Chains A and B, each alone.
Chain A
């Protein structure tokens, strides 16, 4: 019996697909333009990560050598050049990225990361409310924002906040506000008998707090590098 076995052959299939690409258009002088790129990278080092680009050379006149030099300069900064545009085909050799044509402009959302931050800002900054007195030996750490205590803060207790600290009872312990470098943070209390007050690393101990202020409603704030404690009302 004769049988014919045909080996299954895969046909090469070509498919079309379009991508949105970022296009960089260098300007003369190239050195200055590269400095701008460096500045962008300094601000957001991950800017070009996962974002290959097309180089539009229409605005500059470069030799084959010049183009090769520019491409390698970009690659060394982590910018991958996928194709070139606006240049004579004859100028390109095999070592350079291919020539691209027929590109159409499209709207791209560039600053994704910055946008997320903006979206979050309008939401109320987080704060921690403590309904009970803070007792000696207790340490409340809340780096995300303000701390409000309805009762008193006992001698030997400690409140650490990223934002401001509000104490509606007597503050006898230690209060440290703005610990993440927030110099605008303040400490407010109904009656000041604090052992230590600190804002953004600047502190005063009980000894530094004027006797006239003691047992009165007061606030502490930073005036440059000076901590000021002033009576409330």
Chain B
């Protein structure tokens, strides 16, 4: 039974695309057949993060308008056989998407994949509402700061009212993914705590991704962080999140400040 998952946030720059790529790759590594769909028409990024930007021929809009077949637009990942990308168009804007077009594409993808992961654009307008429209589950990405959490709250309200599932009286299953969690700043009380975020959003926690240079490094080489350096802290956190999505129970790892070694303490050097 295929699952349609939307990765959304309201606010921009919190890590939707990074998370889409990382979780998509982590699920594919576990043998699931996954397609990641870029809904950010006009400002596409997912192809870059996936390292497929030089192989894009047709895109979501072409398929929606019947110019190309779905099989022509889908790009297979070079590292993982079961991971596919459906890119967005960079030359059009969100108005080029129609509800019927999206519905038909999602229905088609459901028959071909185990997971259809929709990377939502920021905002609450057409692009974002269409990305979530046919979702079964949602990952709400937020950073531990107030503006991002409030926007996430707004998006949860929309998931509960503007999706096909909500209109049918059902619930979209929602998870919160906290990204860019900085242990040092958390310890100094400069960020919202995990408990505060969960209390405000009142939905289950899928994972906590630590702030890390590994994420930036992976993006720059066009590789999902879970593939680029599977042993890194963010990669492990994303893999755990993917396992939770498949129904596994995995203990939550709250990132801790790196322990300072004996010599560091002795010499009073700052740990990175």
A residues neighboring B (CB under 8 Å): 132-138, 151-152, 154-157, 169-170, 172
- Chain A residue contacts of B154, Cβ below 8 A: 135-137, 154, 156
Complex Cα spacing A132 to B154, Å = 14
**Are A154 and B160 in touch, CB under 8 angstroms?**
no
Whether B153 sits at the interface, judged by CB under 8 Å, is yes
Nearest chain A CB to B172 CB, angstrom units: 13
**Are A170 and B153 in touch, CB under 8 angstroms?**
no
Q: What are the interface flags for B91-121 relative to A under an 8 Å C-beta threshold, 1 for contact and 0 otherwise?
A: 0000000000000000000000000000000
Whether B80 sits at the interface, judged by CB under 8 Å, is no
Q: Which residue of A132, A134, A137, A154 is within 8 Å of B200 (Cβ)?
A: A154
User: Which residue of the partner chain A has the closest CB to B156?
Assistant: A135
The size of the chain B interface, using a CB distance under 8 A, is 13
- Chain A residue contacts of B146, Cβ below 8 A: 155
- Chain A residue contacts of B59, Cβ below 8 A: none
Could you pull out 17 A-B pairs where Cβ atoms are within 8 angstroms?
Answer: A132-B160, A134-B157, A135-B154, A135-B156, A136-B157, A137-B124, A137-B154, A137-B158, A151-B202, A152-B200, A156-B153, A156-B154, A157-B153, A157-B157, A169-B202, A170-B200, A172-B200
- Chain A residue contacts of B200, Cβ below 8 A: 152, 154-155, 170, 172
**Are A135 and B153 in touch, CB under 8 angstroms?**
yes
With A154-B150, A156-B153, A156-B154 known as contacts, the answer to whether A135 contacts B199 (CB < 8 A) is: no
**Are A152 and B157 in touch, CB under 8 angstroms?**
no
User: Which residue of the partner chain A has the closest CB to B203?
Assistant: A133
- Chain A residue contacts of B199, Cβ below 8 A: 152, 170
B residues 20-50 in Cβ contact with A at 8 Å? none
Complex Cα spacing A137 to B153, Å = 8
- Chain A residue contacts of B157, Cβ below 8 A: 134-138, 154, 157
A137, A138, A157: most-surrounded residue (chain B CB, <10 A): A137
Going nearest first, the 9 A-B pairs with the smallest beta carbon separation are: A135-B157, A136-B153, A136-B154, A137-B154, A154-B153, A138-B157, A135-B153, A155-B150, A136-B150
